[in-house]
Amino acid sequence: MDKMIKKLESVVVAKSLKEVQESIQFVKACFEKRLATKLHLTKVTSPLFVKDGTGINDDLNGIERPVMFAVKSDADQKAVVVHSLAKWKRMALAKYGMKSGEGIVTDMRAIRADEDLDEIHSLFVDQWDWERVITSQDRTLKFLKKIVSDIYSVIKQTEKAVCAKYSDISPVLPSKITFVHTEELVSKYPHLTPRQREHEICKIHGAVFLIGIGGDLIDGKPHDGRASDYDDWSTPTDTGFKGINGDILVWNPVLQTSFELSSMGIRVDKKSLEAQLKLKGHEHRKEFLFHRMLLEDKLPLSIGGGIGQSRMAMFVLRKKHIGQVQPSIWPDHILADCKAKGVELL
């Protein structure tokens, strides 16, 4: 990996804001088309908000507050701006009658008002949210790894296309992605925090899929938070560990740190939903629309995730701040810091 980093010797040439916008659109067009083809996904439209109390919105770590408003024409029914479309997509698969091996992809737009803002976190979230129907036989670690490898190949192809178009950008991604379980990581680096572990493993391998995010590890803590009702992080696998979900992480040579591009996984079935709701003390959610549909076999088994659009553009275009590839609002101290560093935000 050190040799790969040394290849990144040239400084990315400054571009006008118009040229920056053109390069962002080039990245998005390259990636989306290849992703849809590779995973057999149909592009669909999606909502910016859903009704409150249906269990459809993603509650992330369970503490983030969604942006909420009252719908005047619906007796002031409360609506919430989505955090992601993890559950909506699975309902859409059923609605559109998708078969095994077929899926959907959408441009997800979200507001995360409680986000801690920095160079990689914004109030505005844009990602390719995708979901694909699977069979019960597909609910394995082997199948998960195949889909991850397919997605990684698209990431590689996108970086290659960008490097071909912009001569000042050099490729840094390794030929293959490395699979590591969170249990292995905590055993390897017991005295480091989860983020520090990610940093160390990505620095070594360049690209890593970190498996099993959401359940408690050997140290009694989860690697990171994951909702109890979409990713399956509790099912045992043939490795002796638990979890058929994870994150795609790469080493960011500009920021010199690990960099998450995607959160994804095989989704809960009835058994794992029941188990995870109980583990997290969320059994009351069984009364929500989404959960009732799943428990009543009205939703297909699926695999899915979100791939950050701004994150992807930021990474392959070698930008220092996410505000260089998307418009948002920032506190004065962040604006002042960016100005001092010569970083122009959109």
- How far the first Cα of the chain sits from its last, in Å, is 32
Quick check: is 311 catalytic?
Answer: no
Q: How far apart are CA 26 and CA 82, in angstroms?
A: 26
Q: 247, 272, 276, 309: which is the annotated catalytic residue? A: 247
Distant-in-sequence, close-in-space partners of 191: CB < 8 Å, separation ≥ 6 = none
H or E segment to which residue 252 belongs: strand 245-252
What domains can you pick out in the chain, each with its CATH number?
Answer: 2-49+90-340 (3.30.930.10)
pTM of structure: 0.89
Least-confidence region, from 8-22, 27-41, 200-214? 8-22
Q: 32, 58, 59, 138: which is the annotated catalytic residue? A: 58
Three-state DSSP at 107 gives strand
58-109 confidence digits (pLDDT tens): 766 556 788 888 988 888 999 888 888 988 999 999 999 999 999 999 999 9
DSSP 270-294: HHHHHHHHHHHT-GGGGGSHHHHHH
Give yes or no for residue 250 having a pLDDT over 70. yes
Q: 127, 228, 262, 326: which is the annotated catalytic residue? A: 127
Q: 263, 309, 310, 326: which is the annotated catalytic residue? A: 263
Quick check: is 112 catalytic?
Answer: yes
Give yes or no for residue 6 having a pLDDT over 50. no
170-180 confidence digits (pLDDT tens): 999 999 999 99
